[in-house]
Amino acid sequence: MTQVNFEKFGKISYVRETKVADFVKHLENGKIMATRCNKCGKLYFPPRADCPEDLSQDVTWEKLSGRCKLLTYTTAHFAPAGFEDALPYTIALAECEEGTKVYALLSKEIKENDISIGMDLQLTPLHLADGKITYELRKAQA
């Protein structure tokens, strides 16, 4: 399997190459993609090239709808190196309608008073100012 440059993903790139670098291309095309193990059927987001359940490398890409429900969240008022300019930020755990869970930043467009457990969210690509890309959870459109 050819490894592709992964340095474009996220606010700070810690890894230059990975076997699932196509994830970045999918995000750039507006798609939220996961991987599914063809042996055990488990779905992974963020995508994985190897299934930790059965160690299979037989995985395929699967498009997620992005529709999620908020399970829990916390607002951080401190940050690790590289994220200080984002303070405060809210980190959320949501469950996608496909059953996989996602850990992501909650959009700053959602005010703290509007956050509620069980609320409908949409997992969407987020283009950063420096040309990098990541994803975030936004309030679902009615």
DSSP secondary structure string, 70-128? EEEEEEESS--TT-GGG-SEEEEEEEETTS-EEEEEEPTTS-GGG--TT-EEEEEEEE-
Query: Quick one: pLDDT at residue 54?
Result: 87
pLDDT in tens, 55-101: 888 999 999 999 999 999 999 998 888 878 888 999 999 999 999 99
Token pair recorded at residue 113: 């008073």
Q: Tokens 């230059």 identify what position?
A: 16
Q: What is the mean pLDDT of the chain?
A: 87
3-state secondary structure of 142: coil
Question: What is the rounded CA–CA span in Å between residue 74 and residue 76?
Answer: 6
Report how far apart, in Å, the C-alpha atoms of 44 and of each of 7, 36, 81 are: 21, 6, 27
**pTM (2 decimals)?**
0.81
3-state secondary structure of 7: coil
Asked if pLDDT for residue 6 goes beyond 70, the answer is: no
Token pair recorded at residue 99: 């059953």
Report how far apart, in Å, the C-alpha atoms of 125 and of each of 76, 81, 119 are: 21, 23, 19
